[in-house]
Amino acid sequence: MISKNTDLKARRREEILNMATPIFAERGYQRTDLQVVADRLKVGKGTLYRYFPTKRALFLAAVRRGMHCLTAYVDGAVKDLSDPLEQIAGGIRAYLEFFQTNPSLVELIIQERAEFNDRSRPTYFEHRDANMGRWKDLIRRMIAAKQVRDIPVERVSEVIGNLLYGTMFTNYFLGATKSHDMQTEDILDIVLHGILNPESGGSEAVTKRKSTKRPISSGRKIKEKMRGLSLE
């Protein structure tokens, strides 16, 4: 009996989140009137407050739910792939694909950052950190297998993570023009092989720099030149 009620309550919460998510996404957090959410659900505003203590809690629950869906989606896409490289490719593709079919979540992520800059770290990064470990392990194994160069794992995971993060936003803001398949290819091409021409005589001088401690360091003097541009 209790479980049934609890179950019912959980289902109701889901329904509310389902309705609230696109409204939050469309109007933004501040400009969303919970009365509107209630009306669309054909429910009184008071009822909403029985399920979520504050507007903020309701909103954050929606974000958390969205991030869970993302994780589940990517995990599911990667699960059955054995080849490490295919796992990476599949993960990237699933990530971009998910956000393309669920633009609401992008908006929610933005709204969260905009409204709750008091939170220690955004929900996105909490989930990101929770899942990053598995990807790092994968890369470590690839390095051990000599498939990937011997570079710090952090460097690889960070660069790829940031690249995906940026790509996801750009796709949303500018409207993705390519399919995620082609986009995945583009990303992989550069991340896997780099942009330098390996056969170029000219690039050798450049490539050699890589071995020095501070490869390309003409930035010190630039810094001196650029004073007085500060914003605040």
- 1 is a site residue for its own copies (CB under 8 A): no
Residue 231 CB, nearest distance to its own copies (Å)? Answer: 5
Which of the listed partners (its own copies, DNA, none) does 20 bind, with a CB threshold of 5 to 8 Å by partner kind? none
Name which position in 6, 35, 47, 200 contacts its own copies (CB under 8 A): 200
Estimate the crossing angle of helix 123-144 against helix 55-79, to 10 degrees: 20
Subset of residues 98 to 157 that bind its own copies, contact rule: CB under 8 A: 101-102, 104-105, 107, 110-111, 113-115, 117, 121-122, 125, 145-151, 155-156
Q: Which is nearer to its own copies, 3 or 118 (CB)?
A: 118
Subset of residues 45 to 64 that bind its own copies, contact rule: CB under 8 A: none
Residue 126 CB, nearest distance to its own copies (Å)? Answer: 11
Name which position in 2, 46, 53, 232 contacts its own copies (CB under 8 A): 232
Give the residues lining the site for DNA (CB under 7 A).
5, 12, 30-35, 42-47, 49-50, 54-56
Q: Which is nearer to DNA, 119 or 209 (CB)?
A: 119
Residue 215, φ and ψ in degrees, nearest 5: -50, -65
Q: Which is nearer to its own copies, 51 or 104 (CB)?
A: 104
Which of the listed partners (DNA, its own copies, none) does 44 bind, with a CB threshold of 5 to 8 Å by partner kind? DNA
Separation of alpha carbons 188 and 173, rounded Å: 22
Residue type, 210: K
Q: Which residues of 96-121 are buried (b: 16+ CB within 10 A; e: fewer)?
A: bbbbbebebbbbbbbbbeeeeeeeee
Residues whose CB falls within 8 Å of the CB of residue 102, separated by 6 or more in sequence, listed in order? 66, 69, 70
Separation of alpha carbons 170 and 47, rounded Å: 38
- Angle CA 90–94–97, to nearest 5: 140
Q: Which is nearer to DNA, 41 or 81 (CB)?
A: 41
- Cα-to-chain-centroid distance, residue 106: 9
On whether the CB atoms of residues 90 and 78 are closer than 8 A, the answer is yes
Subset of residues 65 to 104 that bind its own copies, contact rule: CB under 8 A: 65-66, 69, 72-73, 76-77, 80-81, 85-86, 89-90, 93-94, 97, 101-102, 104
Which of the listed partners (DNA, its own copies, none) does 32 bind, with a CB threshold of 5 to 8 Å by partner kind? DNA
Separation of alpha carbons 17 and 19, rounded Å: 5
Q: Which is nearer to DNA, 20 or 168 (CB)?
A: 20
